[in-house]
Structure 1
């Protein structure tokens, strides 16, 4: 990629020339992309005449794709692994480790760690993140208040949504959550929780759905993180989706237990998911790491039925979940890496690489309700210029070089890219 003019921090037009543009209908089209001084896509067409003083980007050897979407993270937990070890490697071990740490984690610590991770994610081309944030007796409101400030500070570069993650613990009644859920929801973009570990799942789900309905917010649940077919809460959730009118506004994360159900039972649940327009999110890193450790034989892994759900048309996204904490000790913030993990661990096939690309772009954008997502006129210019032959090779091996634009501003580039950085933007990735 070559750049004939420096892209400065001044407001000006940018013309990305000759790239293969990922159109909203899934096709790759050879076209130019004109970004106006306000950071919006002004035109997508071949042979656009550059406006005076426009910065020019030669993308003739590159793809131009929308910014990646990570629709399930935990920014309040990111980077705490060395302070909150999890010797057992289990879900409960991780919960206990973070609860201990959260009791004394100051807001500035959360802010610093989350900022670092957001920067890493952006460096890999992510321009939208939804983060679940613990609200409970251990964490209080430190996490959600710190991340609400972070959401405001990053608004010019990152679309950050917060889920008020009302976290139940063994031995903790629901009175505290009931007394504080409205305050938490006031700072949030969605309301969520984990019914599988609640002592009274019915009351717990009522609290979550009622708070979401009262504020006009969607629901985003950790549906489960276990493989016990006798512990199911899908019907309880379906009943509340209908009762509170949350069709098309409910997302279920993990749904690991679907992989442990007989086929007929799974098919019944999947049919209701489709009828109620519920979105799902698989989190391969966490589920591969945490589940199945107590099995005497080589254990089944913790993913949901990725291939069957995706092929049936269920809106299924994939996401990072945790990054370098007691729940997942690894993580780079690279959504292309997560797409590869999903293909391999979810038993998708080599001809479904493009399907995993959809799982980090259009599908999670839909689940998050992102307005103006995609490369078309009038949308914010959140996009990546990535040197790769096509979508399959981009997912399979990553780009040779990349540059990231957030709301029209060049915010990051890989070391191989020849596009110079704007003054005051991030350093080379």
Structure 2
């Protein structure tokens, strides 16, 4: 039976968990939210109730959260036709090309990018949006705020005002009025990185809000700012967001320097966000032999007890020409390039990402929010390896997206059509 979407459900039957257990999952309402109320061994048979969903042959995960998107830049590669190149080339290409992009262009591309994330299972997004140059610097932020309002009930979207060093405080104030929730920026690109960290965090404090900064997105150099960021926010209220994205320089620090820095990061309450697909593309262009990779020190951060998440970052824009807007793509890269075990890689794009974003706990646990992703497959490694398109996305206990595929292959023609 076909149901209109969103379609609220009360039970998921025969679902496979990442540990291989097959269960039925009951969903109810508590304090205005859908939560998991019971989990029991499940092997459905016979007719199911109208609000029950047969998930035999599907693996069920906590719905992914995207901790670091750029919805304003997304899908602009074909529009801008930028050169291939490193971070500096991408920044220059975007600065020049974005001047010709209208608010409607930002809205159209951001809507398409958000819809792709939702189809693939993501139910919460934190996106950076540039304070642009020119006479209308807030048009990207306004466009994404409009997308947020249009997709309310399907996706949660949080906006970070990505602030250039040249932007005056009054312009950042206006960005927050236009819909931004957090202060952002890239201090390592400023003439005085430490002063830029101080400036941005002071503005955040004045507004009583958090900060999500691009931090140390380079492989070599002593102008890294993570230590300053950590020290500066150590005494912030525990509920105030403090997030550091990229942190590529950690991946090239020697062991002694890293060991000295990580305890301070852990004490600060900072969440670290790794962006494998973009930083694998952007970093290392200057070393064609034994090219270093642009990932942060994932294993060391996790061992130190630092909250870590991972995201897709840029999707088909000057900073990354590819990308599927799929958390399973990010998880796969964490395994192959980051050397994380599959369960840990998936954690960084699901429960770990939700924790860094400050979202309520979700997933297949009694009392957790019913934010779930069901992917057709035999087990956790199977769905990460194959990233099947057959998916059912559940937000707040309701199905908000269903994707199905149909395979017809010549070798099986007699079986399929006889």
Q: Residue in 1 aligned with 2:309?
A: 317
Q: How far, CA to CA, are the matches of 1:178 and 1:163 in structure 2?
A: 15
Q: Give 2:23's match in structure 1, choosing from 26, 30, 35.
A: 30
Structure 2 regions of 5+ residues with no counterpart? Answer: 407-418
Asked if the contact 2:27–2:370 (Cα under 8 Å) also holds between the matched residues in 1, the reply is: no
Q: For 1:380 and 1:353, how far apart are their aligned partners in 2?
A: 23
Quick one: which of 79, 100, 116 aligns to 1:104? 100
- 1:263-316: CA deviations, max 9, x gaps? 111111111111112111111111111111112633212111223223333222
**Aligned match of 2:350 in 361, 367, 370?**
361
Matched, 1:7 2:3: yes
CA distance in 1, matches of 2:119, 2:7: 22
SS in 1 for 2:142: helix
Q: How many angstroms does 1:13 deviate by? A: 4.4
Does the 8 Å contact 1:20/1:31 carry over to 2? no
Tell me how far apart the structure 2 counterparts of residues 400 and 102 of structure 1 sit (CA, whole Å).
Answer: 32
Alpha-carbon distance in 1 for matches of 2:41, 2:227: 54
Which SS does the other structure have where 2:196 is aligned? helix
Match of 1:268 in 2: 260
The offset of 1:124, in angstroms, is 1.1
Matched, 1:230 2:225: no
Count of aligned pairs: 401
2:147 equivalent in structure 1? 150
Q: Which is further off, 79-88 or 263-272?
A: 79-88
Per the alignment, in what secondary structure is the counterpart of residue 129 of structure 1? Answer: strand
Separation in structure 2 between the aligned mates of residue 75 and residue 14 of structure 1, nearest angstrom? 33
Distance of 1:220 and 1:29 partners within structure 2: 39
User: Is 1:55 the counterpart of 2:51 in the alignment?
Assistant: yes
- Structure 2 equivalent of residue 422 of structure 1: none
The change in CA–CA distance for 1:189 and 1:378 in structure 2 (over 3 A counts) is farther
Quick check: 1:6–1:55 contact (8 Å CA) kept in 2?
Answer: no
Q: 1:179 to 1:200 in 2, by over 3 A?
A: farther
1:68–1:126 contact (8 Å) kept in structure 2: yes
1:86 aligned residue: 82
Q: Does the CA contact (< 8 Å) of 2:14 and 2:22 recur in 1?
A: no
How has the CA–CA distance of structure 1 residues 6 and 36 changed in structure 2, closer, same or farther, with 3 Å as cutoff?
farther
Which deviates more, 105-114 or 177-186? Answer: 177-186
Whole-Å separation in 2 of the counterparts to 1:28 and 1:183: 51
CA spacing shift, 1:327–1:67, aligned 2, 3 Å: same
**Alpha carbons of structure 1 residues 360 and 9: separation in structure 2 relative to 1, 3 Å:** closer
Report if aligned partners of 1:7, 1:55 keep a CA contact under 8 Å in 2.
no
Give 1:12 shift.
5.3
Mark the CA change 1:55 to 1:6 in structure 2 (over 3 Å): closer, same or farther. Answer: farther
| 2:196 alignment partner, one of 194, 199, 204 | 204
Deviation of 1:347 after TM superposition, in Å, equals 2.7
- 2-structure distance, mates of 1:241, 1:21: 38
Contact 1:284 1:342 in 2 (8 A): yes
Match of 2:281 in 1: 289
- Residues 410 and 247 of structure 1: is their aligned pair in 2 closer, same or farther, counting only changes over 3 Å? closer
Q: In structure 2, what is the equivalent of residue 389 of structure 1?
A: 378
With normalisation by structure 2, the TM-score equals 0.87
Q: Per the alignment, do residues 297 and 379 of structure 1 end up closer, same or farther by CA in structure 2, a change over 3 Å counting?
A: closer
**Matching residue within 189, 193, 206 for 1:214:** 206
Task: Please give the secondary structure, in 1, of the residue aligned with 2:258.
Answer: helix
- Per-residue CA deviation, residues 161-199 of structure 1 (Å, 9 max, x unaligned), is 11111123xxxxx4x332211222332222111110112
Quote how far apart the aligned CAs of 1:377 are: 5.5
| 8 A Cα contact 1:16 1:59, kept in partner | yes
Distance 1:43 1:287 in 2: 40
How big is the shift at 1:338? 0.8
Conserved in 2, the CA contact under 8 Å of 1:132 and 1:162? yes
CA spacing shift, 1:28–1:364, aligned 2, 3 Å: farther
Cα gap change, 1:13/1:403 in structure 2, threshold over 3 Å: closer, same or farther?
Answer: closer
Counterpart for residue 403 of structure 1: 392
